[in-house]
Structure 1
Amino acid sequence: MALLRSARFPALLLLIAAALGLILANSPVADAAFAAKGAYVGIPGVFTLSVGHWIADGLLAVFFFVAAVELQYELTNGQLNSPRKALQPIIAAAGGVLIPIAVYVAIAGSGETAAGWPIPTATDIAFALGVLAVFGKGLPSGLRVFLLALAILDDIVGILFIAVLFTSDVDLLMLGAAVVLLVVFRLLSAQLGGRGSRAIAVLMVVVAAAVWFFVHESGVHATIAGVALGLVMHQQPALRTRHALEPWVNAIVLPVFALAASLVAIPQVSPTDLSPAFWGVAVALPLGKIVGISLAGWLSMFLGGTKLPFGDVLAAGALGGIGFTVSLLMSELAFSDDAATRDQATLGVLAGSAISLLLAAGLVSWRSWHYRRLAPQTVSTPVAPAT
């Protein structure tokens, strides 16, 4: 379990799963793989979803629950619990959202590809931290803290995009039922730890599943149920639950989603025939993120943010371009009615994230080399706040 809680191994699993998805989709067993993803599972006549939707709407809701618990902690007790702590990552995250959108719109902002503008706004926390752990030996803790806060804020933006942009024909009755059950879930979570905790925990699982069902049936994307459950759960049991779920999310949820989402047939066309959606995402992730995050992060230092060195902010910008999980989800949602464009956007996510990964590896290695040249006490000391 310790291996699955580390930063490096889960990132490796994600990379292997994505590569396996591409290999399967372009191999002799491609038809079988696509058929398996499209097969419907559930209770016939009552509630069924395709395997792909169970993964994207169901399994991924568990990932969003875990992310929301971390977000709740950071907002109350962690790195985002005061305006001063949050200032630099907030401004950097804003740059890391707005500039990639501008790059995408400049390349693919017209016609049927225009809907893909939210895709390059996300940062994959697990992948980015994994690359930092592999190549960042000797870096000060300030860089990891900055990257974590930045990625969490990116997740907030991604969650808002999913909730607002990809929701239609909301059934208010179903949504109201979900809200009522969320209150019940919150009250039950406050009771954990005393006598009868096991029975309460089982009841909470049932209530959580019901919340997910009602959110799904309301027309709101079902992953929002995971976010809501993670934010309303009482913090102490929430942190224990996150600790218990983390290995399973890293070992199963994220790799299975990465495999399913990257199950894309590579088009046999020349680069000039690729969709603008591909180029928009593939360019906006590495270029838009590193320019947006590093420029905004640097400007924030003049507004009272922590003085993280510009070289560190530049490395964080490259890490922010590793979109992957949430970007893959948004490519599926943005082009849900256009399979060809969706596949090209997905390839753009994989290509842009791969470029960002290589760029980040180089910049993080450079920063690591830089700090190893300094005195030992400097290497182990976090970046001092601004005075």
Structure 2
Amino acid sequence: MRFITSDRGSATLLLAAAALALILAATPLGPGLLAARDLHLPVDFTGLHLTVEHLISDGLLAIFFLLIAIELRHELTHGDLANPRAAIVPAAAAFGGVALPAAVYLAFTGGGEASGGWPIPTATDIAFALGLLALLGRGLPSRVRAFLLGLAILDDLIAILLIAVVFPKNLQPLLLLPAAALLGVFLLVARLTPRRPGVRLTALVVLGVLVWYFTALSGVHATLAGVALGLVLPAGLAGRTDRALQPVSRGLILPIFAFSASLIRLEDVSGETFGPAFWGVAVGLPVGKLVGIMVATTIAVALVGRTSPSRLTPQEIVAVGLVAGVGFTVSLLMAQLAFGEGMLGTSTTLGVLIGSAISIVLSAVFVPLIARRSRQAQEALVPQP
């Protein structure tokens, strides 16, 4: 259990799930797995038209976004981001790490049909990036992880806003009214002092599912229901929810989503697959993230001053920029939302996998070197007997 909930364990499971999906898709099992993923669920009477893939990306992933919202709220109220001065530099880095990958993607795709996928390379996979840093950055000071955590959380906040604004389909805003009303009831029940905790838990689960249901009906991506539920949970209950669901999210939900999203139809892969959309993502993630974070952080530090609480060396900024290039979970979700299946969907999914793989390889080469220099610098500061 400790391995699953650790940064390293989570990253390992994600990578293994994606690799297994790519391998199995190329075997005789591939067509059967794809058919199972695309299986239509008999729930049309609810007004929802869901496949197994939708259940994973819209349903299970809502729990992942609920946990992101809990972490975001904690960081904004009690963590490093609660200090406005400390938040300036990671906020600037997050903005640079979103803006430049989007610009790189648009430079490759121009104004064509593929340009609608510009949000895809803007996301950082918080679980994978932290796991990669933990695996490769032994000896880096704790401020590096804190900076990456703040950057990734703000990056996820931007991703949530992009999903809400850029990717709604068949929007029916009136259906958000019952979702909002049920969210209010959820908040009231969550704040009650329970005489029977089991009854309150059951009520919260039912209310949460109903908020998700009406959000899905409205055309807004249903994972945003998880965000709303996570933001309104009282601090104590939010902490208990996070501890209870993190093993489920890291050990089950994220690997299942990575496996599902990485299943690629071989008949969809051709020379056209490796077109502008593919290169926009494959270059935008490793290069756009690194350069965007480095430039934005350097400018922010120059404006705030070297006395900023977020003081990193140039080498440490490079380490953060390298691991932040792993888009993975949210980027794969955005690729699905932007293009679904077909050539562009396959192109951008491959772009996410290849771009993230490039970031992993570059991190494996350079982050240990940066960590070694950091250890040597810290040892040099220790007084010799």
**Does the alignment reach a TM-score above 0.5?**
yes
- Aligned residue pairs total 376
Instruction: Label 1:130 to 1:171 Cα distance change in 2 as closer, same or farther (>3 A).
Output: same
Q: For residues 108 and 127 of structure 1, what CA distance do their matches in structure 2 show?
A: 27
- Residues 9-39 of structure 1, C-alpha deviations (whole Å, 9 max, x = no match): 1111100100111112221122111110111
Q: For residues 51 and 315 of structure 1, what CA distance do their matches in structure 2 show?
A: 38
Partner of 1:151: 152
Partner of 1:312: 316
Deviation at 1:375, TM superposition (A): 3.7
Summarize the alignment of residues 1-387 of structure 1 with structure 2, pairs less than 5 Å apart.
1-43=1-43, 45-46=45-46, 47-192=48-193, 194-266=194-266, 269-270=270-271, 274-304=274-304, 305=308, 306-336=310-340, 339-376=342-379
> Which is further off, 62-71 or 23-32?
23-32
Q: For residues 337 and 27 of structure 2, what CA distance do their matches in structure 1 show?
A: 26
When normalised by structure 1's length, the TM-score is 0.94
- Residues 314-337 of structure 1, C-alpha deviations (whole Å, 9 max, x = no match): 11111111000000000011113x
What is the RMSD of the two structures over their aligned residues, measured on CA atoms?
A: 1.6
Q: For residues 273 and 170 of structure 1, what CA distance do their matches in structure 2 show?
A: 30
Identity of aligned residues (%): 48
Q: Secondary structure at the match of 2:45?
A: coil
Partner of 1:382: none
- Residues 282-317 of structure 1, C-alpha deviations (whole Å, 9 max, x = no match): 011001000000111111111224321111111111
Instruction: Label 1:378 to 1:355 Cα distance change in 2 as closer, same or farther (>3 A).
Output: farther
Q: Secondary structure at the match of 1:28?
A: coil
Provide structure 1 residue ranges, at least 5 long, that are not aligned to the other structure: 380-387
Larger helix percent = 2
Q: Secondary structure at the match of 1:97?
A: helix
Instruction: Label 1:183 to 1:273 Cα distance change in 2 as closer, same or farther (>3 A).
Output: closer
Q: For residues 381 and 251 of structure 2, what CA distance do their matches in structure 1 show?
A: 36
Q: Secondary structure at the match of 2:185?
A: helix
Deviation at 1:374, TM superposition (A): 2.6
Q: Secondary structure at the match of 2:50?
A: strand
Q: For residues 378 and 91 of structure 1, what CA distance do their matches in structure 2 show?
A: 30
Q: For residues 153 and 380 of structure 2, what CA distance do their matches in structure 1 show?
A: 30
Q: For residues 70 and 260 of structure 1, what CA distance do their matches in structure 2 show?
A: 25
Q: For residues 366 and 297 of structure 1, what CA distance do their matches in structure 2 show?
A: 21
1:323 and 1:349 in contact (8 A); partners too: yes
Q: For residues 260 and 118 of structure 1, what CA distance do their matches in structure 2 show?
A: 20
Letter in 2 for 1:203: A
Q: For residues 93 and 381 of structure 2, what CA distance do their matches in structure 1 show?
A: 25
- Residues 28-67 of structure 1, C-alpha deviations (whole Å, 9 max, x = no match): 1221111101112244533551000000000000000011
Partner of 1:385: none
1:25 and 1:265 in contact (8 A); partners too: yes
Deviation at 1:4, TM superposition (A): 1.4
Partner of 1:384: none
Deviation at 1:276, TM superposition (A): 1.1
Q: For residues 41 and 365 of structure 1, what CA distance do their matches in structure 2 show?
A: 47
Letter in 1 for 2:350: L
Provide structure 2 residue ranges, at least 5 long, that are not aligned to the other structure: none
1:109 and 1:117 in contact (8 A); partners too: no
Instruction: Label 1:101 to 1:234 Cα distance change in 2 as closer, same or farther (>3 A).
Output: same
2:43 and 2:50 in contact (8 A); partners too: no
